[in-house]
Structure 1
């Protein structure tokens, strides 16, 4: 018998000083049985760090033709294609052609991903940014994860300060350019 998705709820207070975004969010995040807690948290952080009007979670791992997070304008046009993890070059190429902006948040070694994409065709590759966090940050955050969560995220000067269920963590948000 197949196991269904586990639902996690998050009461998030977001203060992104860098972008001037201050929001209180109530999010229900489904974690697919094949998805790790670290991947799910990376997806959640991508949503929060990219938060703007029109942002949505997609079906995640179950979606083959959409990224983990998507932003659409009021007409339904895709304005941001936000991948999580280690998407292949063809998927980045497709997303970059479809959306105004493409970005990736990863919980993996960014150097390995950049090497994987080197020499591959990715539309507008010089505008695609890979974001990563300090080693151990996401693992430590995953250890504090519960089914019902309270989270505070503060971002200033590309430094993220995270409080998750009483656990305080911080990390730089590292930006890596993809070389065409």
Structure 2
């Protein structure tokens, strides 16, 4: 018998001063058995940092034709393709062609990720933003995760402040570009 997804709930206070986004979010997040805690934490942070009307979680790791997070406009057109972790170049190429913009949020070493894409064809690669966090930040954010979670996410001047179930953390949100070193 296959193991099903585990449901995690998040009550989130989002204050993204940099983008002028202030929201109260109630999320039910299905965590696939093959999804790591670090991947799920990065996926939730990406959702918060990209939050706008039309944003949704896709089928996630079990979907081969959609990213972990995507944004659609009212017509159903994909406006943002948001990958998590370390997507391969072909997947990123596909998403970049399909959507108006693409981004990657990674909990892995961004230098290794960028190196893995060198010499590969990725549509409009110079426009794709790769975001990462300070070393150890995601690991520290995973520790307090529970099935029911309360979070406060604040962003100001590129600095992320996270309060998760009583644990307070912070990290710079680092931006990298494909082809840059």
TM-score over 0.5 (shorter chain): yes
2:137 is equivalent to residue 145 of structure 1: no
Q: Does 1:99 align with 2:112?
A: no
Question: Under a length normalisation based on structure 2, what TM-score does the superposition of the two structures give?
Answer: 0.98
Partner Cα separation in structure 2 for residue 177 and residue 9 of structure 1: 33
Q: For residues 8-28 of structure 1, what are the alpha-carbon distances to aligned partners after superposition, in whole Å with 9 as ceiling and x for unaligned?
A: 000000000000000000000
TM-score (ref. length: structure 1): 0.99
Matches within 5 A, 1:64-79: 64-79=64-79
Partner Cα distance (1:11, 1:178) in 2: 34
Q: What are the residue-to-residue correspondences of 1:68-147 with 2, within 5 Å?
A: 68-147=68-147
Which structure 2 segments of 5+ residues have no match? none
**2:38 — aligned with what?**
38
CA distance in 2, matches of 1:92, 1:146: 31
Deviation readout 1:102-141 (Å, 9 max, x if unpaired): 0000000000000000110000000001100001111111
Q: Which residue of 1 aligns with 2:49?
A: 49
* 1:58 Cα offset (Å): 0.2
Cα distance per residue 1:76-107 (max 9 Å; x no partner): 00000000000000011100001011000000
Separation in structure 2 between the aligned mates of residue 34 and residue 110 of structure 1, nearest angstrom: 22
Whole-angstrom CA distance in 1 between matches of 2:179 and 2:124: 10
1:179 deviates by 1.4
